[in-house]
Structure 1
């Protein structure tokens, strides 16, 4: 997906100047790392909702605190590659799916 194209789920990151100024749906911010945390947050939340799990249930399955899972879903925490892998294993998806931008559903 080209940079600047909106994700399927709108998120206002409130971190980059663009989002603070425009209050528009999230578009890839200038900082690639901030963008990755937002993408992971959207994907983890989406997959958790698809499974019908609470944050506590996901945390128990992965061996994390519910507070940390909440921080991941709000893009307020970075995670190690091993945690990314454990979360992917819990959802039975490839870890790449957690960092991939979603295409808009039509």
Structure 2
């Protein structure tokens, strides 16, 4: 039995990336994923554990979103277009 106060088991960055790679619904997302993970890893020391989990949840959502279509321009800059990608939740009253 578990309690809602029990900690979540640890997960290594490489394990998370491998999981998200399996979730990616296109080759473009699989190419973009390492860049997203690198950004999350760089931010992690400055975020709370909940903040890191949010970043990982956003990455997972992007990998599963059928309408999210990243493209790489000729300059090598990633661009993203979507007609209905999820946005982070807004605080009440915003």
TM range (shorter): 0.3 to 0.5
Return the structure number with greater helix share.
1
Higher RCO (Cα < 8 Å, 6 or more apart): 1
Return the structure number with greater strand share.
2
Larger Rg: 2
**Could you state the TM-score of these two structures normalised by the residue count of structure 2?**
0.36
